[in-house]
Each structure stands twice: as structure tokens, then as C-alpha cells.
Copies of this chain bind each other. A is one copy, B any other.
Amino acid sequence: MGTRERILDTSLALFNQRGTAGISSLEIATELGISPGNLYYHFRGKEEILAALMAECELALGRLIHRIRADELAAEDYDPLLHSVFRVCHHFRFLFRDQEALRFAKAPIPRRWHRLMAQLKAFAQALVAGMDALQPLGLSAARRDALAEALMLTTLGSLSFDAILDHQEDEAARIRLGIDRLAVLLAPYAHPAVAKLEG
């Protein structure tokens, strides 16, 4: 693995553990055992590292949105798709816990952050639209939109909240717990895609 990738990996781990505000680029260099100058050669400060991690997250989510929009999904496609989006969000979970730090960070962080949130909302809307196409949910457009927002907020909340209450489960168990919460929200629609959600 190249130095650039090692810097990104270590930064991600530190941000997930301790938030972005508490971590300096000097600490990242120390953790890696490289000189601050070497780190600076790759990234001119923490903002550039943050921006690179956000770009990775955007790319991963973009692929999933493309998939949900391009194909006509069958009922059995929803469980792996929800797992994928949860895995991406869990991987970059500091982005969803540290809102104030990111909202008030230097440019271009706040703009990128808004874009990421808009992407997540687009994913939730495409998910609800796909389910509706598979079998009508019997909801008005406004209610479908409110349902998409509730699903998105529950997902984001799952990522933050589990850390807060110090749930000790491993990553897979945490993702499972998050999907269970989405399933209970969707279950009343007795939808074939929901019946295919494991757990």
C-alpha cells in the first residue's frame, strides 16, 4: 500500500474513533510513523484528507444509486442493497457523527458534506420509488417522500446512536441492527421486498 493510501486509512480509523475535531495532521503522521513533511507532501493539512475521504464515500454511494436507478430490482435485491449502503456509511461513520465540525470546517468541506447528504436522500428516494414500482405502497408522493426521509434519518441515527450507547457488537451486528430498524418501518406495507430482508 502506498503512503497516500496508508494516510487515508489511518486518518479514517482515527476520525471514526475520536471524531475529526480531536485529531490533528501531526497526530496522523505520528500514528503512521512518518514525518509531518512526508504527510504534507501528500496532503496539505487535515482538510485535504477529509476531502479525499468524502470523495471516496461519494463515489461508493454514487455507484449504489446508479445500481438502484439503472436496474429494475426484484424483491430479493433489496436486502443486499441495504447492506451495501449501510456498509459504506458505517465505513465512513465519522461523517455522520460529527456534523457541526463538518458544517463549520473550511471550504470545500461544508459544500461536499451537503452533497453527500443530498446523495443519501436521493438513494432513499430511489429505494422507495423502486419498491413502489415493484408493488404500489399505496402512499401519496408527499408520504413517499416523508418515508424516504424517515428511512434516511433512521439510518444516519443508527450510525451515530450505536456509538453513543456503546453497543459492543461488531460491525456486522451493528449493520444488522440498523437494517432491523428499517425493516420495522417498512414491515406494515407487507411488501415483498421487506419480506426478503433477513433477520
A interface residues with partner B (beta carbon < 8 Å): 18-22, 94, 97-101, 103-104, 113-114, 117-118, 139, 143, 146-147, 149-150, 152-154, 156-158, 160-161, 163-166, 180-185, 187-189
Task: Check if A143 sits within 8 Å of B184, measured CB to CB.
Answer: yes
Task: Check if B164 sits within 8 Å of A157, measured CB to CB.
Answer: no
Q: List 8 A-B contacts (CB under 8 A).
A: A19-B104, A22-B100, A98-B100, A99-B163, A99-B164, A143-B184, A143-B187, A153-B153
The main secondary structure of chain A at its interface with chain B is helix
Q: A153 to chain B: closest CB distance in Å?
A: 3
With the chains together, A97 CA to B157 CA distance in Å? Answer: 11
Write out the residue numbers on chain B whose beta carbons fall within 8 Å of the beta carbon of A104.
18-19, 21-22
Given contacts A113-B164, A161-B156, A165-B114, contact A146 B181 (CB under 8 A): yes
Task: Check if B99 sits within 8 Å of A160, measured CB to CB.
Answer: yes
Q: A47 to chain B: closest CB distance in Å?
A: 16
